[in-house]
Amino acid sequence: DSGVTQTPKHLITATGQRVTLRCSPRSGDLSVYWYQQSLDQGLQFLIQYYNGEERAKGNILERFSAQQFPDLHSELNLSSLELGDSALYFCASSEGLAGVFETQYFGPGTRLLVL
């Protein structure tokens, strides 16, 4: 158990809909990272937040947005969903802001299926 929790575990929705994925980092970790894992794209970094502020952006679509709250939990919002958004979405956390120098602890993921 990494100490990172994600809800929900599974999500089935229809195209055009909007969903929110939630992540609670390990106690004491200030950075949260979001990743998308699909069969064709592999594991793609989406975005990082550090202590409530956006720190780095990866391959995140404009239809997607995220935020980190004062209690450090984070939410990833996916809107106007398309079939291709079906994937595993992982949240990870680390102690500081320098993700490249730190171990990231991954949550169990949310499996999203868009029908």
Partner 1 sequence: SQQGEEDPQALSIQEGENATMNCSYKTSINNLQWYRQNSGRGLVHLILIRSNEREKHSGRLRVTLDTSKKSSSLLITASRAADTASYFCATDKANYGQNFVFGPGTRLSVLP
Measured between alpha carbons, how far is 59 from 38 in angstroms, rounded to an integer?
13
Footprint on residues 83-102 left by partner 1 (CB under 8 A): 88, 90, 92, 98-101
Q: Does 7 bind partner 1 (CB under 8 A)?
A: no
**Kind and range of the H or E element at 97?**
none
Q: Does 111 bind partner 1 (CB under 8 A)?
A: yes
Binding mask 31-60 for partner 1 (x = CB under 8 A): --x-x------xxxx--x------xx-x--
Torsion 20-26-29-32 (CA) sign = negative
Closer Cβ to partner 1, 79 or 97, answer by number: 97
Tokens of 40: 């064709």
